Amino acid sequence: MPESTENTLQFDVEKYVRNSKKVDISDLDLAQALNYPVTDEEVRALTYMCDIESHTIVYLRAILNTCAIEDPQTTSFLSCWAYEEFFHGHTIRQFLNAIGAPVSATRMLEVQQASSFTEWLKELGSSILCRFSRYFHGAYLTYGAISELSTLEGYGVLARRTKNPILAEIVRRLAKDERRHFSFYYNKAKLELQARNAQRLTNFVIRNFWLPVGGGVKSDSEVSWILSFILGDPDGEEIASRIDGTIARLPGLEWFDRLSRSRTEALQEMGRAPRRHSNANYPQSALAESRV
């Protein structure tokens, strides 16, 4: 049955729901992971991402308090999305256990308790804003697109950089899921942001409340650390501007430069002067392969 142009979503939600499954690493021998190097920084980054992936259920509670609950495509997507994200956290945890850097059983609760007041406020604000504006959909979809794209690129960096082939394969598989998640948020945001009022509200929310992945959940210093670890080198500058450029193609978001700005601020905070990339032929990352 042909859909009206208005409701046509380039991302096929039905197909996503049909194919949704937990990330499968049953063919990987995790015991082999110890035979290859894993740096302390990689363990720290994986612990960070394990915390954030495992926090998805808390984020889901917040998002379901908003008008997201009114949209059947979104609720279908979110049901499967939360399931897949849970297994991302679970998989990282399995890897950390295998290399002797286990995450404590009470970790998720500790992370929740450490979540900041601003996180709570954002949750409250979202549900209130929804009552007054039907245009709020564009804001959370845009927020989701930025988070998924940042995560996808982050796993891509880890996969390319690590000398541990088991870890590289795991994060590549996670990135594959993140690409599908990004595609949903991005394509749906593009539709929602056709309305000028949606653009205005989204700009207001993103300009005032946007935080990098893990912001409001992890400490500010830990957020700066991960930004400088993932994006700190010259390739990272390219990646940050590529994320900015992709988000800036959303209607009304032409100004978006937050990844590059956050990268610069994080590097300053870490006492590292931002370096510029010298190779204009830097290979396109996973994003280039993704049709958005």
Q: Which residues bind Fe ion (CB under 5 A)?
A: 53, 85, 88, 148, 178, 181
Across 41-54, b (16+ Cβ under 10 Å) vs e yields ebeebbbbbbbbbb
Instruction: Specify the DSSP element, H or E, that contains 142.
Output: helix 136-161
What's the min distance (Å) between Cβ of 119 and Fe ion? 18
What's the min distance (Å) between Cβ of 143 and Fe ion? 13
Name which of 183 and 260 has its Cβ closer to Fe ion.
Answer: 183
Name which of 51 and 148 has its Cβ closer to Fe ion.
Answer: 148
Name which of 147 and 228 has its Cβ closer to Fe ion.
Answer: 147
CA dihedral (33, 34, 37, 38) in degrees, to 10, reads: 70
Reduce the DSSP state of residue 162 to 3 states and report it: coil
What's the min distance (Å) between Cβ of 63 and Fe ion? 13
Name which of 53 and 153 has its Cβ closer to Fe ion.
Answer: 53
Name which of 216 and 274 has its Cβ closer to Fe ion.
Answer: 216
- Give me the amino acid identity at 26: S
What's the min distance (Å) between Cβ of 215 and Fe ion? 16
Residue 214 region by backbone torsions, left for phi larger than 0, else alpha for psi between -120 and 50, else beta: left
Name which of 90 and 160 has its Cβ closer to Fe ion.
Answer: 90
What's the min distance (Å) between Cβ of 195 and Fe ion? 26
What's the min distance (Å) between Cβ of 51 and Fe ion? 12
Name which of 148 and 235 has its Cβ closer to Fe ion.
Answer: 148
32 CB neighbour count, 10 Å cutoff: 12
Reduce the DSSP state of residue 11 to 3 states and report it: coil
Name which of 223 and 267 has its Cβ closer to Fe ion.
Answer: 223
87 CB neighbour count, 10 Å cutoff: 18
Residue 242 corresponds to which tokens in the numbers above? 């590529």
Reduce the DSSP state of residue 149 to 3 states and report it: helix
**Residue found under tokens 């945001």:** 189
Q: Which of 208, 203, 178, 189 is nearest to 286 (CA)?
A: 178
Give the CA distances from residue 1 to residues 4, 7, 8, 11, 224, in Å, rounded to whole numbers and listed in that order: 10, 12, 12, 17, 49
What's the min distance (Å) between Cβ of 148 and Fe ion? 5
What's the min distance (Å) between Cβ of 155 and Fe ion? 8
- Give me the amino acid identity at 31: A
